[in-house]
Amino acid sequence: MNSGIAGIFTDEHKVVEAARTVRQTFNSVEAISPYPLHGMEDALQIPRSCIPYVTFVGGLVGMFTGLFITIWTSAYDWPINVGGKPYVSLPAFIPIVFELTILFGALSSVVALAWFCRIPKLNPPIIDPDLSSHKFALFIPTSDKSFNAEQAENLLRQVGALEVKKVSEY
Amino acid sequence: MIKRKQLVLGNKTLVDITNDICEPVESIPKKGWITLFLGAKTLMIFYFGIIGYILANGIGLLGVNHPIAWGTMIVTFVFWIGIGHAGTLISAILFLFRQKWRTSVARTAEAMTVFAVMTAGLFPLLHTGRPWLDFWLFPYPNQRGPLWVNFRSPLLWDVFAVSTYATVSIVFWYIGMVPDFATLKDRAKNKIRKIVYGALSLGWRGTARNWSHYEMVYLLLAGLSTPLVLSVHTIVSFDFAVSNLPGWHTTIFPPYFVAGAIFSGFAMVITLMTCVRIGFPKFKDYITIDHMEVMNKIIMTTGLMVGYAYTSEFFIAWYSGNVYERYVFVNRALGTYGWCYWAMVSCNVLLPQIFWFKKARRSLTTMFIISIFVNIGMWFERFVITVTSLHHDFLPSSWGNYAWSFFDGCILFGSFGMFLTLFLGYLRVFPAISIAEIKTVMHVGKDGGHS
Amino acid sequence: MQEQSTESAPENRPEKIERDTNYWLSLEHYAQDPEFLKLGSQEFASSPLKEGEENAIERRDFLKLMGASIALASTGCLRRPVQKVVPYNKQPEEVTLGVPNYYTSSYSDGVESLGLLIKTREGRPIKVEGNPEHPNNKGAVSISAQASILNLYDPDRLNGPRKNLWNEKRTNKDTVTPKWDAMDDEISAQLKKGSVVILSSSISSPSLRSIVSEFSQGFAAKHLVWDAHSNDQLIRARKMCFGAETLPVYQIDKAKLILSIDADFLATFLTPMAFSKQFSKGRREIEKMSRLVSFDSTFSLTGANADLRYRIKPSQQLDVVMAIFSELEKQHKVVVPAALKNTLDEYRNRISQLNMDGKIFAEIAKDLWENRGQSIVMAGGIATQTEFSEGLFCAVNCLNSILGNEGKTILERPAVASSSFADIKALITSMTAGKVKTLILHKVNPIYHLPESFGFAEALKKVDMVVSTADRIDETSQYANYIIPDNHPLEAWGDSESLEGVISLQQPSIRPLYDSRAFALSLMNWGFIAKMGPKRLLAYETYYDYLRNYWKEDVLPKVAKGQNFDDFWAQALQKGFVGSSRATAGKNSAKLEMLSHYKASESVGPELVLYPTVMMGDGSQTNISWLHELPDPVTKITWDNYASVSIAFAKKNSLSEGDVIELDVNGKKLELPTHIQPGLHDEVIAVAVGYGRTKVGRVANNVGRNSYSLVSDQGIFSGQKVTIKKTSRKEKLANPQGNQSMEGRQIVVEATVAEYQKKKSANIHRHHTWSIWPGQEYNGNKWGMSVDLNSCTGCNACVVSCQSENNIPVVGKKYVLEGREMAWIRIDRYYTGTPDNPEVVFQPVMCQQCSNAPCETVCPVLATVHTDDGLNAMVYNRCVGTRYCSNNCPYKVRRFNWFAWNKKIEAPLNMALNPEVTVRIRGVMEKCTFCVQRIKTVKNTARLENRKIKDGEIKTACQVVCPTDAIVFGDMNDPNSAVSALFKDERAYALLEEWHAAPSVRYLSKIRNNGEEKRHSNSEEHV
Amino acid sequence: MRFVFGVICLSALLLSGCKFPSLGYNKGYAPEQPIAFDHSLHVAKNNIQCQYCHNQVERSKHSNIPALSTCMNCHLQVATGKPGIIKLREAYDKGESIQWVKVHMLPDHVHFNHSAHLTRGVNCQECHGPIEKMSRVQQYSDLSMGWCINCHRKPENNAPLNCTTCHH
């Protein structure tokens, strides 16, 4: 789908530095690491995730869903006298509203995560199996505006990649 | 500035960490684990047999009666739900507070949460008279009018709270494991493992952008879980506090229950962690004595908090001037079930005071014993609240005692069978420490490392 | 409402009997055909008649269901099982499906005769209620009469006659079902041989008495009347004092002071239902309320209701009366003969040994004298059957006589003294000697009721032919050659004459379920076959014909001379009774001299008291689960009898509750669990009779121990010396009441008359209640109930009525012990005062139908909610059984089906179920809903008739049977209703008012007429 | 995308419970009866009133199936030769009953009252449909609780909505 050139690193600090350098040439450079690297977002100039907005909207939807089902069912669809309490016993509905707010907020965040990370994904390409354990990679896709295979390979070697690979699929 | 303690001992490299943590998942179990697992599994099968028998014959097989309509099932439900809270506390609240030491115990604590909630979740479903109709508690459109549910009932709040809690805990736990599953998949030598862990990892690759979203979601979930975990035990306490029974009808219950939950949860974490350290010696470098000591401090603190709650209840009962309220508390300490009360006080308030001594805090044997007692004490706390309040209520004519039966014991001990089976299975199937996360804190406290 | 058939219903009307054919077996009538009954039950399946029953029909249905489901599988539809609707072949005119019919009838236990209304649905009786117009019981109905419906449907009843296949020694137990003809021939042939004895209990039916006497005349048979609990000494004493064999007819409502010496007239003595009615009437107006003083050697229901109760031991009964005599003499109210004066001096010394303040006798004597002509002194019942009973009864008669009560508050009616123990002994002797060739046993069970030392069983084997009319193979009838089961009173025609002389008709409300035959008809048949006996005995083919004729010839002239008989008969059937009380004022002629014979004697050490309970009576009708699960009114213990001892006695002998002790009464031994009973005399061991039957049925076999075995050979029940030996065993006693004291809470409010006069709402602490919610409004009806604690005697009749009306299951001793009893209405009994001699208060507690119901708020599935007429509805089919409602109910009136109790209802007991009330399955909560089915029925009737519901038209099940009219039900929103007026009464208070559940039940405080200024303070009440 | 689709499908399934309440009920059930009694013949053609046979319906909660004697009021003379009537007559003479298959079945915990509905002016047809035209009786309404409630809750019907109206 999306091929490109990957450079493999073993040092956490080096890869972040390398990324910062490579990012100056290639806008769409991507880093792959076994754990979140401190400073990588900054190095690659990744914008802040927009998921909190999704969570907020999800939470709001949950809250209104909660308010709607409690009030509508208890007071409008079939009002029933329960223990002499008013049909809209708002204080008693708060726990339901609260729980639904949390539930919708949490689930919408996870759905958003899946959406933005494009997971679940069948057969993700594996550049190096150790990338999930102790190695790091920088990847320059062919789709990058200023992609040039030779330049990319050289640059990666220059910044300290132990190995540079052509990757057919990303 | 205080020098930080090392969180990971033994100068591990990234490879070492990966290997150490993946070892239990990738190696063949040894005798000890197999024995424990078979034992737990047998207990679980017996437990399900007992549940089946109760389902077939009626809830009357337990000791519940008039006036004590809630017994072992609800007591044990609150017990397990409470235990679950420590996991969320470690993984979410300590995460928000940037407590890095949480990393090595968070995964297992969360697993404990999920299994404890699973174990607990069965009880409210099974304790009803007609469990096959439990789905009536969900507000779904139906052919009866439709007839909805009573949103004023704390039990309905429970349904929402516990199911939300279970869902969010599982999601949180699972999201945390996704990168580790990717690691396991990449290390997998055989095809089936590759497929299974591949599916579980959802195709996770660990690109910088993904990590960025991932960390944000993790933070959000932690942020959402924190009020959630507090709300769940608050709502569980509402089951009691919202009713009008003396001994239940108390405003102190929400914080009291949450403190108690954290207390018992940490005790259970200590119990499990001491065992994990014995079973998997390599984990000693990750789950260090320092970790245990911190948790013991929390146990001691929350122990004092429940102690305060016990005292405060008595004071308020006296101060209220209400005869029913006063009677219930006098009866709690001196009545038929006085021994339960004193068992509770000694296990929960007195025994943990030994943790004022550093030696005790750092002694594995001591903490193991104390943690067991704390769990016993916390079970009795719930028993005391549920049963002793019910057994002598308003009209003396309807007073009664709990009709203990063989099945009460089976239900209580059987639930441990279920929990332990799940937990032991987890130790062999899932990475017990977050591989990705521990790597971010491996240098903490090391010379030259940054924190 | 009450539909009384003027002519008997065709289904109830006996068909013409052909004597020479096997009538009972050949009759294939729908109402009797069990096959039909099963089918019928399927149509009106508001009952679980089908559930769990594996009968042929169901299997057939199952096959059809299989067929149907295959057929319907193609249409993709889910099907319920195929049910059949089976209409009548010929429509019986008065049966409207789904609408109950009420038949007037009567019930008698030999002494008490109650007018009844039998409620039937589709031809089967489902409930027994009192006939409100009957002059004696006025709607009150005893526990045993109500429970007799379960006796009708008892699965352990014999389904036909039995013949014993004896071996030489009569030890084997094989029986066969004989042919009626052959059996009748054989019996009548045997009867012709002479030496016939009929042994029966008291017969209150005048027509049956006439048949028995005509039969006895024909066969020269001897008729012995013998009751386990007889009043013969009472009758004899009246003969000694007043010259005629009579029984007293007390006018309790006319008395200002009632002094009872072990006469439990509110529970078991003579006619408790009528007495309860009168007693409550005499206490309704508090300013003028009567006073009840009781000297109690057991803790009887009467003692529990007494304003002043004193504990004595049986041997002191006479001492008490004599003490009053001597006080009267001392106060110069009466002049006693010199001989008596000496005797009284002797007794004066005994007073000091009564462990009582001597002043009380002075006060009682003064009180009696002030109320002369309007007081009653009474003694009676088996607790007074001591060696001093003759003296006691004579002294009581003399006391009433000098007080001028005889003829004013005490009337009399002729009575036939039943046989004494001596007569029975004589019978046994002649049986042993082979002088009795044929013995007919009717409603007696001597082997159970007589101590083994009498040797009745052995004597029975010497009789050539023993015929029993028992409805089961019981302790005695197992030795009978023939058992010819008598019809159940609900199945048969009959009549009964009450103590007061009112004659009631007993109308069958169902065809005989089994191949049984009325005792009267048996006698008539045998007379006919043997051609012996007066013409009248031989002239009729059925007992019904005889009865009609008897009423024409004997009853009509007595009560309505000159009336056309058909009108008279129709009227009698409709009303259920004829005539009114025929009690007359007797001669007020007792001679005081006679008392001088009865010398005082010392009695030291523990004494035995035997007493009957309101549930078991003499134990003849005990295979009824309702009765066993019904708590004793005072001890509250179910499913057992026990040896009650006082707290001091227990302490002295280091006994604790449930310790099994061995009683030794003159060599007769019995092991019983101990019950520590506050308020007993310290030298008394009280044991209930009527338990410990061994061959009565699955319910009652071996429940408790047979304490009749302790009766002495002279027939002395109580006052015998007893020694105890503690064994190492312990038995649990099932007491559904958890705590016996109110713990100082405002639960039952009591005040003395003096306090009441100062302030009507005395001792009621009213609370200011306040809510953040405005509450819901009720614009139509709002049902409410008031319970007058001053009237309630705690007799338990409401509990049984509720059980019968609402299909409440019985759980058994094991589950009562575990706290799983199911009663929707319970009567709480609290002790107040000192533990040694406490006072008792009763409080019926049912669902309070709170307007702010705590139970409703916590139900997650809306299974319990409020209706627009203010009821706290309980929807069984919606309940999932979280039991939260029960936890949150401050009154703990909710009951949970811990197990599938409904599956335990075996045929034909399911026929007693009320089709208007759903039978609850396992796992659902249930509770009282003010008999919502009755409310609905009346509402529908009112709507059909296009009118409003009248006040008092709806009567709840507990209300309708209440002998003291303590319960009033009605519309709180109607300012003119009786219940609204009672709610405004100053004595009214709500239970746990401060909890502001806003209950719809109000209790009216109890007033004690004990002459004291103030109630002892509540805080002392710790027992 | 698929997730959204799944949610829509699931909620559609749940909502169908409201939309098609007859799901799982016996609507349209028309079992074969031992005698093929024809309502259209008796009611529509011969104009016999419902209450002639179901004579207790105005007084009772049940609408009674007529006794055989009611049938024989006419069928002693009418249509005596038809096989169904011969069967009826045989049963009548033997004193037996016909075991009809029950069509309208409510669970035991539901107490429906025919007379109460009749006095409020509810026609037979409102629940039983065009029963006068049915050759073989079939269940017209689904008899679900929702079906009852939806009629009871119409303001013009002024009917009670208490649980105890039907359940006690």
Could you report the per-residue pLDDT of B141-178, keeping only the tens digit for each? 888 888 899 999 999 999 999 999 999 999 999 998 99
In this prediction, residue D15 carries a pLDDT of 54
Contacts of B300 (CB under 8 A, 6+ apart): B352, B353, B355, B356
| Mean pLDDT value of segment C161-167 | 84
pLDDT of B445 over the 70 cut: no
* Least-confidence region, from B442-451, C90-99, C616-625, C785-794: B442-451
pLDDT bracket for residue C336 (50, 70, 90): confident
- Flag if C85 and D69 touch (Cβ within 8 Å): no
Among D14, D15, D146, the residue with its CB nearest the CB of B144 is D146
The percentage of chain C sitting over the pLDDT mark of 70, rounded to a whole number, equals 91
Chain A partners of B161 at a C-beta cutoff of 8 Å? 95, 99
**pLDDT band at D9, cuts 50/70/90?**
low
pLDDT tops 90 at residue C40: no
Q: How confident is the model at residue B20 (pLDDT cuts 50, 70, 90)?
A: confident
C775 contact residues in A (CB cutoff 8 A)? 84
Task: Tell me the residues of chain B between 138 and 177 that have a Cβ less than 8 Å away from chain C.
Answer: 147-150, 152-156, 159
Per 3-state DSSP, what percentage of chain A is helix, strand, and coil (rounded to 5)?
50, 10, 35
Q: What is the mean pLDDT of residues C389-402?
A: 89
pLDDT-derived band at A153 (thresholds 50, 70, 90) equals confident
Instruction: Answer for the pair C763, C1015: CB distance below 8 angstroms, yes or no.
Output: yes
> Which range has the worst mean pLDDT, A54-68, B219-233, C29-43, C1007-1021?
C29-43
> For position A170, what pLDDT does the model report?
61
Chain C CA closest to residue A89: C773
Name every chain D residue with its beta carbon within 8 A of the beta carbon of C776: none
Q: Which helix (H) or strand (E) holds C232?
A: helix C232-242
Question: Taking CA C889 as the corner, what is the angle to CA C883 and CA C890, rounded to the nearest 5 degrees?
Answer: 150
- What are the percentages of helix, strand and coil residues in chain C, rounded to 5? 30, 20, 50
* C940 contacts chain D (CB < 8 A): yes
Q: What is the per-residue pLDDT across B280-335, written as a single tens digit (0 to 9) for each?
A: 888 888 888 888 888 899 999 999 999 999 999 999 989 988 888 999 999 999 98
User: Do C490 and C481 contact (CB within 8 A), yes or no?
Assistant: no
- pLDDT at position D11, please? 62
Q: Distance between CA C539 and CA C545 in Å, rounded?
A: 9
Instruction: Say yes or no: A111 contacts chain D, CB-CB below 8 A.
Output: yes
Q: In sequence order, what are the beta bridge partners of C730?
A: C659
- Across chain D, what does the average pLDDT equal? 84
Percentage of residues of chain C with pLDDT beyond 90: 39
Q: What is the pLDDT of residues C224-260, one digit of tens each?
A: 888 888 888 888 888 888 888 888 999 999 999 999 9
C176 strand-pairing partners: C163
Q: Is the pLDDT of residue C54 over 50?
A: no
In this structure, what token pair is assigned to residue B163? 């199911």
* Partner residues linked to C467 by β-bridges: C440, C482
Distance between CA atoms of B120 and B122, rounded to whole angstroms? 5
Helix (H) or strand (E) holding C645: strand C643-645
Does the CB of B15 have a partner CB in chain A at under 8 Å?
Answer: yes
- The whole-number pLDDT of residue D13 equals 55
- pLDDT bucket at D6, cuts 50 / 70 / 90: low
- % of chain B exceeding 90 in pLDDT: 49
Q: What is the mean pLDDT of residues C740-758?
A: 89
CB-CB contact of B119 with B418 (8 Å):
yes
Mean pLDDT rounded to a whole number for chain B? 89
Please name the residue of chain B whose CA is at the shortest distance from the CA of residue A86: B152
Judged against a pLDDT cut of 80, whether residue A22 lies above it is answered with yes
Which range is least confidently modeled, B4-13, B76-85, C183-192, C541-550?
B4-13
Report the SS3 class of residue B329.
helix
Do C267 and C760 meet the contact criterion of CB atoms below 8 Å apart?
Answer: no
- B–C CB contacts, 8 A cutoff, strictly below: 172
- D156: amino acid identity, one letter: E
Does the pLDDT value for residue C33 go beyond 50?
Answer: no
Q: What is the ipTM of this complex?
A: 0.90
Chain A residue with CA closest to D146: the answer is A78
By Cβ distance, the residue of C30, C39, C918 closest to D168 is: C918
Given a contact as 3+ CB pairs under 8 Å, which chains touch C? A, B, D
CB C431 within 8 A of CB C460: yes
**Interface contact flag, C96 D59, Cβ < 8 Å:** yes
**Is pLDDT larger for residue D114 or for residue B14?**
D114
Q: Distance between CA C31 and CA C33 in Å, rounded?
A: 6
Whether residue D161 is predicted with pLDDT greater than 50 in this model: the reply is yes
**Confidence label for B2 from pLDDT (cuts 50, 70 and 90):** low
Length of chain C: 1023
Edge-to-edge, what's the strand order for the sheet holding C783-788?
Answer: C967-971, C783-788, C1001-1004, C988-989
pLDDT at C158 over 80: yes
Q: What local confidence, expressed as pLDDT, does residue C60 receive?
A: 36
Contact D56 C47 (CB under 8 A): no
CA distance D104 to chain C (A): 10
CB contacts under 8 A, C 906-935 vs A, are none
Closest Cα in chain A, distance from residue D92 (Å): 50
Question: Quick check: C17 pLDDT over 70?
Answer: no
pLDDT at B36 over 60: yes
Q: Which of A93, A122, A133 sits opposite B18 (nearest CB)?
A: A133
C858 interaction partners in chain B (CB closer than 8 Å) = 152-155, 242-243
* B143, two tokens: 């052919």
Furthest CA-CA distance within chain C: 105
Q: Determine the distance in angstroms separating the CA of D22 from the nearest CA of chain B, rounded to an integer.
A: 8
Distance CA(B67)–CA(B392), nearest Å, equals 8
Of C97, C867, C940, which has the smallest distance from its Cβ to D162's Cβ?
A: C867
CB C397 within 8 A of CB C586: no
Distance from CA of C863 to the nearest CA of B (A): 9
The CA-atom distances, in angstroms, between C455 and each of C419, C426, C445, C713 are 18, 12, 13, 11
Mutant choice from C769, C770, C771, C776 vs A, greatest count of A C-beta within 10 A: C776
Residue C738 to residue B136, Cβ atoms within 8 A: no
Cβ C140 vs Cβ C277: under 8 Å: yes
More confident site: C444 or D12: C444
Name which of C639, C629, C737 is nearest C688 in CA terms: C639
A84 interfaces chain C, CB cutoff of 8 Å: yes
Q: pLDDT tens for residues D14-61?
A: 555 444 445 567 788 888 899 888 899 898 888 898 888 898 888 888
What residues in D contact B147, CB-CB < 8 Å?
A: 145, 149
- In this prediction, residue C344 carries a pLDDT of 81
Whole-model pTM? 0.88
Counting every residue written for chain A, the total comes to 170
CA angle C686, C825, C981 (to 5 degrees): 115
Cβ of residue A78 closer than 8 Å to a chain D Cβ: yes
Q: How far apart are the first and last CA of chain B?
A: 13
The 8-class DSSP code of residue C903 comes to G
Residue B155 and residue C860: Cβ atoms within 8 Å?
A: yes
If you count residue pairs, one on A and one on C, with CB atoms under 8 Å apart, how many are there?
39
**Cα distance between residue B167 and residue A106, in whole Å:** 9
- To the nearest whole Å, the CA of B122 is away from the closest chain A CA by 20
C385 residue type, one letter: Q
